[in-house]
Amino acid sequence: MKRIKLSNVLIVIILLIGSIVMVGPLLWMVSTSLKDKAGVFQLPPQWIPNPIKWDAYQRLLELDTLISGIKNTVIVSLTVTIVGTITSSMAAFAFAKLRLPFKNLLFIVLLGALMVPYPVVMIPQFMLFSKIGWVDTLLPLIIPGLFGNITMIFFLRQYLSNIPDSVVEAAKIDGASYTKIFFNLIFPLIRPAVAAQFILWFMGVWNDYLAPLIYLNTPEKQTLQVVIANLNAAYAIQTDYPLIMAASVVSLLPVLIVFIIFQKQIIESIALSGMKG
């Protein structure tokens, strides 16, 4: 019993240290955003600012580029993830349950695309989008994602393999079309897995920096991450770290809200995957 208790104490200590290492920088980011310039360099450092100042957030809201960056990022993130989730789910359903010629070969080719590094296709994609006039617009960030996400397709296909084929066959005997089978029968069953992949994809699109940096030149058309990077370059010289941290907090909030909304589905997805794996 003593060995068991000692092991439990060690596990708690390790987890506590790990949580401090992971949460500490986030708390420091929020704390810094509520200080003035002098308070950032105060020794010993204050985790809880005294007094709390909202000046950085007030100055941040006065920047036109921040508002346009949030708007552009919301447009790109929601359009890509919502439409792309539907197309990815339908593709996963087709690969898992439909009888298609060369289905497995097509799936292997699809997975092979994951092994191609993005820098390999970055220049050809830019040349293609440049020739059709999509550079400095949001279209290069939106259109490719509307056709689905390979990682989501793979995950959902594996998840659908746990659902008996007899469920689909019974619905077909009752006269249901594949569209009705998918939306009324299959999609509710895979909703926890879809929610887990949705939030991961949303976080990836929201935090994407490289693609917007390549395609977007006009400040009014840039996404939030590029705007924050520009603020970092402009205000770091002035040691205006409260403003930079305030922008980072604003960038973090939507992802945190989405996670809080979908956390139940994510936990269910992990639990079901563990039971069926």
pLDDT tens readout for residues 24-57 = 888 888 888 888 877 777 777 777 887 788 888 8
| The pLDDT value given to residue 207 | 87
3-state DSSP call for residue 125?
Answer: helix
Contact 33, 242 (CB under 8 A): yes
Give dist(CA 117, CA 238) in Å, integer: 37
- CA–chain centroid gap for 85, Å, is 12
pLDDT band of 220, cuts 50, 70, 90: confident
| The pLDDT value given to residue 274 | 45
Asked if residue 225 is part of any domain, the answer here is yes
- Domain CATH code at residue 85: 1.10.3720.10
Match 């596990």 to its residue by tokens. 11
Asked if residue 41 is part of any domain, the answer here is no
pLDDT at 59 > cutoff 80: yes
Give dist(CA 23, CA 2) in Å, integer: 31
pLDDT tens, position by position, 121-135: 888 999 999 999 999
pLDDT band of 275, cuts 50, 70, 90: very low
Asked if residue 123 is part of any domain, the answer here is yes
Average pLDDT over residues 220-230: 88
Asked if residue 157 is part of any domain, the answer here is yes
Average pLDDT over residues 98-115: 85
Range of the domain at 125: 54-275
Asked if residue 25 is part of any domain, the answer here is no
Question: Residue 77 is encoded by which pair of tokens?
Answer: 């993130």
**Buried-state track 91-107, b at ≥16 Cβ within 10 A, e below 16:** bbbbbbbeeeeeeeeeb
Work out how many domains the chain is built from and give that number.
1
Asked if residue 97 is part of any domain, the answer here is yes
Contact 124, 66 (CB under 8 A): no
pLDDT tens, position by position, 175-204: 888 888 888 888 888 887 888 888 888 888
Give the residue, 257 or 84, on which the prediction is more confident. Answer: 84
Percent with pLDDT over 70 in the chain: 94
